[in-house]
Amino acid sequence: MKNIAVIGAGTMGNGIAHTFAQKGFHVNLIDINEHSLQNGLATITKNLDRMITKEVITESDKSATLENINTYVELSEGVKNIDLVVEAATENIDLKLKIFKQLDETCAEHTILATNTSSISITEIAAETQRADKVIGMHFMNPVPIMKLVEVIRGYNTSDAVSQTIMSLSETIGKTPVEVNDYPGFVANRILMPMLNESIETLYNGVAGVYEIDTVMKLGMAHPMGPLQLADFIGLDVCLSILNVMYDGFKNPKYAPCPLLVNMVRAGKLGVKSGEGFYDYSESRKAEKIAAQFSIS
């Protein structure tokens, strides 16, 4: 397995492409937007340069990594002769179902189809294909080149062989895979999102302010960053989407998103990517300071 296709050139997609390419895999990075592809390549290049500065890799390593990446705007062209597709598009169930239906019709019979979804049912996605045994979840953590964890999520029909292949492949690219079962939110977000939501509820109820809540969790619980800052970094729209998936899946009110979160997303305050969330990122220095905490090291 040496030929990988990654769908989506955003934060997660370019990070996944970077990680595979740096480990010697041939990667086709696919996005319907040429501008997004160029931005994705620019991000990969910048992160590789940062690694060179920190003497983690050499210039030749950077060149080899970039040479391993090709870009495509046409999905059908980008998935030819591919062993594994990792879908990293927007966390939208309708979009993912459409993509997997097209992948199933286009990819070779042996191709494994993986999704980087953080909460959506692998079984539901697999049902759109005629190869449910070859559909699996690979939930990478952000930033992908740094974070070691990959949640490997088996759908109801995922075969043992495919699961074992993805577990081994994850280790090959320097990750620590953990196999989990297909329930809303899996493990990472089933635990993380209620904590973030409760932090937002704490703010909403006037118990404490943004800085105070984050400081308590950082200094009192040894978290590297506060939950409200983390929510900003993830994207408040992404947090809302995951909570809605969990609420719909479990029908349990403890997963219902806080009204404050809902209103902030409606108002376009999505966190770092929009320039404002629980914190103000409109000043370039503030944004750079936040981003530096997650730089490639």
118 appears as a binding residue in the annotation? yes
Residue with tokens 């408040």, as numbered in its chain: 236
264 appears as a binding residue in the annotation? no
Query: Is 110 annotated as catalytic?
Result: no
11 appears as a binding residue in the annotation? yes
Choosing from 139, 197, 199, 276, the catalytic residue is 139
185 appears as a binding residue in the annotation? no
Query: Is 139 annotated as catalytic?
Result: yes
Comparing CA positions, the residue from 168, 126, 130, 128 lying closest to residue 150 is 168
62 appears as a binding residue in the annotation? no
Buried b (16+ CB within 10 A) or exposed e, 18-43: bbbbbbebbbbbbbeeeebbeebbeb
225 appears as a binding residue in the annotation? no
At position 124, the amino acid (one-letter code) is E
Choosing from 189, 197, 199, 274, the catalytic residue is 189
Q: CA angle, 45 as apex, 19 and 152 as ends, to 5°?
A: 20
158 appears as a binding residue in the annotation? no
Choosing from 14, 68, 118, 199, the catalytic residue is 118
160 appears as a binding residue in the annotation? no
Choosing from 36, 151, 163, 197, the catalytic residue is 151
Q: CA angle, 85 as apex, 122 and 187 as ends, to 5°?
A: 35
What H or E segment, with its residue span, contains residue 288? helix 284-292
| Residues identified as active-site | 118, 139, 151, 189
Binding-site residues, in ranges, read: 8-13, 31, 91, 96, 118, 142, 273
Binding-site residues for NAD(+), in ranges, read: 8-13, 31, 91, 96, 118, 142, 273
